[in-house]
Chains A and B, each alone.
Chain A
């Protein structure tokens, strides 16, 4: 499953980051790393982007980027 598949309120643990290049690097520098827990907070009114909580701060990213992030659901 990927991050954009999680619904608001659901949590996941990152298992893989598929993005490449600067986007990958930016994501990793902001703490989006394998093994890290995320929680999807909101989906923007027009369906994109999404807001997640990671490392106790709020991050927004587009679904396109979120799709490259594989997660496993966490209760």
Chain B
């Protein structure tokens, strides 16, 4: 965000409306602050038409975001601050919010208050008032307050706090005009400096007065920069960040004495004294202005939670919900993904080839476009339906309030491996596809949790690895296919637990995340907001992953087709690379260039492993029988009808998802040749070692990109890549050599 500071504070003579003078209203910068989950982002979206992420759980917004819009010909910048319960410097969000407010001095702060939680929200309001900046309150979630039968004395609140209070319903865009009017009014006609000051009890005020006196006398430059009363409180509270920034030290005996006296008088520590003082003010205010109905109804949220968080039903319901989401995601997206693959590999490639022929491009460009670019784009497109379906369910879970419950139910289990309850969802998603799972770590609040979760996600065996297992299991363990397959998944989970324990004690030593979380009431997200936020999440994937994957696919194509004129895959760069690294895999039982090349290409995507093996092992004896290529109209018709089919299938899958399904290991005709080929080059033992290696080494290039995107650096992917390689090699080594020792294989 680049704001011209001169633009921000041109108004040095408060009494004059610069707008009128210059015939142009100056732009305004408004900071939106408030408790987590109070509706700040929703309010900004409503005002500015933006699509900032919202969700019904605390901690959605963790970085400061900005949005601009124009109201009555006037530019307005809104700054969405992370939700905070206080302005102490203990969490990242609090620091971000406080630094912005203190240093950037926005024209007006909009304090978004959740009226159904008035007392706790006022605790923050009181601290915002200490800053002495112009403040307007948006009394949000007013609809739920009315529904509960609350009566709020708005006028009384305005009088007691000395600020404008505007009831709003951000989700329904109610009260926005009034809010904007109040804000511009305050910005254009700043009140004289005699802002109403809410006073705490006598002991605190007199101690603060001593400190303030000391600051004004000995550090006048600080008195210029910071609101003095606020600075005095922070100093008394021993706020490390502020003390460091300002260099204030308790060198004045009078100051030390005043604070000591305060502590003695209250027989408590300074933090509690201040928190108590602010909360009792908040409690007093709440009692004055908010009347709740005598008889409290049992709310829907409580009724739902009685079942959902029930001692015995809680876990089954959670697992059931996850299973359903997982199943629906993949069932709904599968027909569409298949359709997309069919279109890009069939007509798509044909048209591209035809186009190139039309343009008289050399042969290799045709291959680059069809086998490199089109295949690459295809491999991204395949993820599109699954990502969108997944994001839809996640958006729903977030919007409804169940996300917080899922964290509550699973926290115990996850905590034992150093994670937070919320980490369970990405882990589970990982079984479908690691890519959305990595993106789902976004729901975690701090980098430590996100990173640890993202490091463990790849151990969840994703759908793309399944074809590899199926081919090898079909070739060697057909009689015990189910058991062997199951053992692979369990192996992954077991290693995730083990690695979690190891990481907890090494890379991630130190404080495990605290779990002090508000459980918000359930809310029904509107269809519109579901769609918007699903799209926003998916779009992110589409754009970035699309560009990277394209580059990687082109690279792989070159590796497979260079140097110029190679006819044997073995002689291509990839083949040579395979030969070069083959010795590394020798102790694992599959040290052939074919296996190595397949594993290398598998770095891009695991689906490619089987494909590459197919190409390498199976001589293209039976060149595809050349049928007359279909015409353009035939192609279009085919695409249309197959899309209709796909849509119908994904719709019917929604229902069939509820029926138990069995895993199909039905064999693909085309793979029969591959099967015999690998039976010759692998033994059952080396095949199992190979399967485990595929389970454990880097999942795919898209995961790398997703991790880069989520963490903003390659660091975590680097760590993940390194440990997965080591783990994969070690496990395969132990299994293969151990197996040989005991006489298997």
Contact = CB atoms under 8 A, between A and B. Distances in A.
Given A25-B271, A28-B271, A56-B119, 12 more contacts: A24-B271, A26-B91, A26-B514, A28-B272, A29-B86, A29-B275, A33-B276, A42-B311, A44-B409, A46-B409, A49-B515, A58-B519
B64 interface: no
Contacts of B315: 45-46
A48 B315 CA distance: 13
Interface in B346-377: none
Interface string A34-56: 10000001111111110100011
Interface residues of A, number: 32
B120 interface: yes
B516 A51 contact: no
A43 B314 CA distance: 11
Contacts of A58: 518-519
Nearest to B275: A28
Interface stretch (B96-104, B411-419, B727-735): B411-419
Interface of B, helix, strand, loop or mixed by DSSP = helix
Contact of B311 (A17, A41, A43, A59): A43
A17 B272 CA distance: 9
A73 B275 CA distance: 23
B90 A22 contact: yes
Given A42-B305, A42-B309, A29 B408 contact: no
A33 B123 CA distance: 13
B412 A47 contact: yes
B290 to A, nearest CB: 10
Contacts, number: 106
Leading 5 A-B pairs by shortest Cβ distance: A46-B412, A45-B314, A29-B86, A28-B275, A58-B519
A28 B415 CA distance: 23
Nearest to B521: A58
Contacts of A1: none
24 contacts: A22-B90, A23-B514, A25-B90, A28-B271, A30-B120, A31-B123, A33-B279, A34-B272, A42-B309, A45-B312, A45-B314, A45-B409, A46-B315, A46-B410, A49-B408, A49-B412, A51-B309, A51-B408, A56-B119, A58-B518, A60-B404, A60-B515, A60-B517, A65-B515
B679 interface: no
Contacts of A24: 271
Nearest to B90: A22
B412 A59 contact: no
A49 B258 CA distance: 41
A42 B218 CA distance: 54
A17 B311 CA distance: 28
B119 A30 contact: no
Contacts of A65: 514-516
A26 B85 contact: yes
B119 A26 contact: no
Nearest to A57: B117
B665 interface: no
Contact of A30 (B272, B311, B516): B516
A9 to B, nearest CB: 12
Contact of A59 (B123, B275, B309, B518): B518
Contacts of B7: none
B91 to A, nearest CB: 7
A43 B408 CA distance: 9
A30 B409 contact: no
Interface in B394-428: 404, 408-413, 415
Interface string B526-565: 0000000000000000000000000000000000000000
Interface string B62-99: 00000000000000000000000110101100000000
A59 B514 contact: no
Interface of A, helix, strand, loop or mixed by DSSP = mixed
A27 interface: yes
A62 B415 contact: yes
A30 B94 CA distance: 13
A28 B309 CA distance: 26
A57 B120 contact: yes
B516 A55 contact: no
A30 B516 CA distance: 9
B310 interface: yes
Contacts of A59: 516-519
A16 to B, nearest CB: 10
Contacts of A23: 514, 516
Contacts of B311: 42-43, 45
Contacts of A22: 90-91, 514
Interface in B259-301: 268, 271-272, 275-276, 279
Contacts of A62: 411, 415, 514-515
A14 B85 CA distance: 20
Nearest to A17: B272
B309 A44 contact: yes
Contacts of B86: 25, 29
Contacts of A34: 268, 272, 276
Nearest to A26: B516
A44 B411 contact: yes
A22 B413 CA distance: 24
A18 B192 CA distance: 44
A60 B85 contact: no
B693 to A, nearest CB: 34
A61 B407 CA distance: 11
Most chain B C-beta atoms within 10 Å of own C-beta, residue among A41, A46, A55, A58: A46
Contact of A51 (B271, B279, B310, B519): B519
A51 B520 CA distance: 12
Contacts of A28: 271-272, 275
Contacts of B276: 33-34
Interface string B296-329: 0000000001000111101100000000000000
A41 to B, nearest CB: 8
A58 B304 CA distance: 14
Given A23-B514, A44-B408, A48-B412, A55 B91 contact: no
B90 A26 contact: yes
Contacts of B279: 31, 33
A23 B519 CA distance: 18
A19 to B, nearest CB: 10
A44 B514 CA distance: 16
Contacts of A57: 117, 120, 518
Given A25-B88, A51-B408, A58-B518, A45 B123 contact: no
A66 to B, nearest CB: 10
Most chain A C-beta atoms within 10 Å of own C-beta, residue among B120, B410, B516: B516
Contact of A31 (B120, B268, B408, B517): B120
Nearest to B413: A46
Interface string B115-128: 00101100100000
A55 to B, nearest CB: 5
Contacts of B305: 41-42
Contacts of A43: 311
B195 to A, nearest CB: 24
B272 A45 contact: no
A50 to B, nearest CB: 9
